Structure 1
Amino acid sequence: MKIRAAQELINFLSERKQNRKRELISLSQDLSPPKGHPTAHTCKAAVVLAYAHWEGFVKEAAQAYVNLVAHKSKRLDALALSFQALVFRQELLAAQSATRRIQQHLSLTKRFTDDITSSCKIDHDRAIDTESNLNAEVFENICLSVGLDYQTYWAVHGHRMDDLVANRCAIAHGEMSTPEDKYAREAVNFVIKAIDQFSTDIENAATLEQYLRKTS
């Protein structure tokens, strides 16, 4: 899939988040039956699926944004620092392991100097890693990777991300009793709002071309 324009990205995000939110809203309704309390398996499923939709959307949204930037074919020196880092990361890792052979270091040095004005190549399929446990630290790293502001909005919600990961893992590994229905509802509602907010962050970054280096 190639995303070449901000509107294409916005359309992609809109479709993906609506599909995910539809199931989350259905789960929210199941957690609030007209009479009595939701079943134990409903509460467990809600927490596991809430996490799955959160991790899944963050990964596909961030990858789609990197996809857009990659297909803009901008010069390396025209990109914001975060995207320059994505370009260089694989080469830096390769050079780091080449402790005795200088060829990797020569290639990397040339990239930093002579090739800085060349068009860049970003592997958008491998640029984003949720590490299978999208806690606050991992999410902050993803925000930094694509140049999004973590502190202004997301930092205060870090504990919610960490709790969601911990509870999802406990349920998946059979180490936890049934979560309270109140917590299950809170988890689902948080993810619904978080998906919308992260989508907005990505859309704004693309529309405002925040992937480009600021010039004085």
Structure 2
Amino acid sequence: MSRNQLSFDVLSDKVIGEFSWRRKELTLLKNKIPSVKNPLQSAMIRATLPLLYAHWEGFVKVSLSYYLEFVSYKALKHNELKTQFIALSLQKKIGALKENSIQSKTQIIDFIFSSSEKQSNIPTKNIINTKSNLGYDVLDEILFIMDLKDVHFESQETLINDLVNERNYIAHGEHKLIDYDTFTEFFNDTISLMEYLKTKIENSALLETYKKPAPNTGNRCTSP
């Protein structure tokens, strides 16, 4: 894909499509779960909850990979980008430099400063790593890399950790059951969080929050 092909509209379509098919599949399954407690209800909750987690993890990984590609294809200069994206662009070259002496550390600093006017080359493969266990700490690290952290994600820490824990209980064969109301709350909150992330990506792309803020060039008042 050429750089000018990954426009905001293309990114938005990709992220919306990714969210929509996942929500549709999960809703179809949820609607099959009996609202009255019985063995079928318990079995379907145990079957659907790991899939709910899988769609959450998958959406995080795929949608943020699209966003990273969107930023990468802009090919901005390093001095136009937020620090996280500069670090991604330069990490391979910096990692090749030894850091065990003041001389080598000085070389790293010189390299960073000398690269400020150069075009970025942000890698996109294997950057969004959910570690197949997307607890809050892992998500927080990913959001930091993408400069997408905010208080709403922080407020959902318990939900995110509970969701991965419930998935693990089932995956490890433990006979731990949650009731229908608790599952419904998990379901609704997870779908809402996926939608929030979708909107966050779209807004960040549209507002170009990946760029370093322009310096304040307003005139300063001076005393006569």
Q: Is this a same-fold pair by TM over 0.5?
A: yes
Alpha-carbon distance in structure 2 between the residues aligned to 1:69 and 1:103: 33
Q: 2:185 matched to 1:178?
A: no
Displacement after TM superposition at 1:213 (Å): 0.6
1:76 to 75, 78, 89: 78
Percentage of identical aligned residues:
27
Is 1:149 equivalent to 2:152 in the alignment?
A: no
Q: What secondary structure does 2:74 align onto?
A: coil
SS at match of 1:47: helix
Which residue does 1:117 correspond to in 2? Answer: 117
| Aligned pair partner of 2:15 in 13, 16, 23 | 13
Shift of 1:182: 2.2
CA distance in 2, matches of 1:51, 1:34: 21
1:35 Cα deviation after fit:
5.2
Which residue pairs with 1:63 in the alignment?
A: 65
- Tell me which amino acid in the other structure corresponds to 1:163: D
DSSP-derived class of the 1:113 partner: helix
Distance in 1 (CA, whole Å) between partners of 2:67 and 2:211 is: 13
Mark the runs of 5 or more structure 2 residues left unpaired by the alignment.
216-224
Find the aligned partners of 1:183 and 1:202 in 2 and give their Cα distance: 29
Find the residue that maps to 2:114 and give its secondary structure. Answer: coil
- The reply on whether 1:127 has 2:130 as its aligned counterpart is no
2:26 pairs with one of 21, 24, 27: 24
Work out which structure has the larger RCO, using CA pairs closer than 8 Å and 6 or more positions apart in sequence. 1
Q: Please tell me the residue identity of whatever aligns with 2:45.
A: C
Alpha-carbon distance in structure 1 between the residues aligned to 2:35 and 2:176: 24
Count of aligned pairs: 212
Aligned to 1:43: 45
Q: How far does residue 87 in structure 1 lie from its aligned partner after superposition?
A: 2.1
Cα contact 2:61–2:129 (8 A) shared by 1 = yes
Alpha-carbon distance in 2 for matches of 1:99, 1:154: 35
Report the secondary structure of 2:193's partner residue: helix
Q: Which moved more, 1:183-192 or 1:46-55?
A: 183-192
1 CA distance for matches of 2:139 and 2:68? 16
Give the Cα–Cα distance (whole angstroms) in 2 for the partners of residues 178 and 36 of structure 1.
12
CA gap 1:168/1:120 in 2 versus in 1, 3 angstroms? same
Greater Rg over alpha carbons, structure? 2
Q: Which stretch has the larger CA shift, 199-208 or 115-124?
A: 115-124
Greater displacement, 108-117 / 204-213: 108-117
Distance in 2 between the 1:204 and 1:80 partners? 16
What are the superposed Cα offsets for residues 133-170 of structure 1, whole Å, 9 maximum, x if unpaired? 1111111111111111322x121111000000111011
- Corresponding residue for 2:186? 187
Task: Give the superposition deviation at 1:7.
Answer: 1.0
RMSD: 2.4
SS in 2 for 1:132: coil
